[in-house]
Amino acid sequence: MDKIRIGLFIPCYIDQFYPQVGIATFELLQKLDIEVVYPEKQTCCGQPLANSGAEKEAIPVYQNFVRNFSEFDYIVTPSGSCAYHVKEHYNILEQTEQVKRVRANIYELCEFITDILKIDDLKIDFPYKVGIHQSCHGLRGLKLGSSSELITTRYSKVHRLLEKANGIEIITLDREDECCGFGGTFSIFEPHVSVKMGKARISDHERNGAEIITATDMSCLMHLEGIIRRENKKIKVVHIAEILNNNRL
């Protein structure tokens, strides 16, 4: 049987500021016996332009994404917001077979592991108290977990992958799926509100004993890390890919 062949999409902010997350994602997928290809002509998914009200200007970026990734069985990215953007916002393109294929086959990393590979135990060690921040796009867009406002069976794909790690303690938050305040360009246009929301999320994790905050989106963690550094706090942020790759702190 041929190996699954995936195109690895690394968002711009990870490429520029957190390359270790991209490397961890690549290494993890390779361990799962998958053919991993990194298209070197990839750029942004176009989300920042769209969030700023310039979606028409993002169309060439969207088209470049499709050219780079339409040939793969799946597209995998360590970013729920980017995956959701491609799925939902590429509807403004002409719906060619290539565009449809890209929109249907892009997955956030945890979603890909649980839903496509059907794996929920990666045999990892992570002896820390961990708080899981559920990013808005991943939670309510990709349905990586159940939202607290809904009366439904509780689930979380991120929890499924972490709860079997040796030594881990996943803490319970007071407000488990509240926004961190980043919101892409929202943090630029409304910095005071954004920072106040970020401080509230950090306080929730600290109050409940977390040593580590993890998430599927490095953009959320970048926002929280900025506040943590400015206030000289001891709590750390670690992207889920680094934990699942069994990286040591």
* Residues 70-126: tens digit of each pLDDT: 999 999 999 999 999 999 999 999 999 999 999 999 999 999 999 999 999 999 999
Neighbours of 13 (CB within 10 A): 17
Question: Is pLDDT larger for residue 26 or for residue 183?
Answer: 26
Amino acid at 120: D
Q: pLDDT exceeding 90 applies to what percent of the chain? A: 90
| Residue linked to tokens 């060439």 | 60
- Cα separation, 145 vs 163, in Å, equals 14
With beta carbons less than 8 A apart as the criterion, state whether 62 and 93 touch.
yes
Q: What is the pLDDT confidence band of residue 1, given thresholds at 50, 70 and 90?
A: low
- Torsion from C-alpha of 108, 110, 115, 116, nearest 10 degrees: 70
What is the rounded end-to-end Cα distance, in angstroms, of the chain?
Answer: 37
Q: pLDDT exceeding 70 applies to what percent of the chain? A: 100
∠ CA 47-65-21, rounded to 5°: 70
Helices (H), the chain: 12-17, 19-31, 47-51, 55-69, 80-89, 97-105, 109-111, 136, 157-162, 186-189, 191-207, 218-230, 240-244
Q: What is the pLDDT confidence band of residue 2, given thresholds at 50, 70 and 90?
A: confident
Q: What is the pLDDT confidence band of residue 8, given thresholds at 50, 70 and 90?
A: very high
Across 55-73, average pLDDT: 97
Across 222-245, average pLDDT: 97
Domains and CATH numbers, the chain: 5-116 (no CATH), 129-244 (3.40.50)
DSSP structure class, residue 33: T
Q: What is the pLDDT confidence band of residue 38, given thresholds at 50, 70 and 90?
A: very high
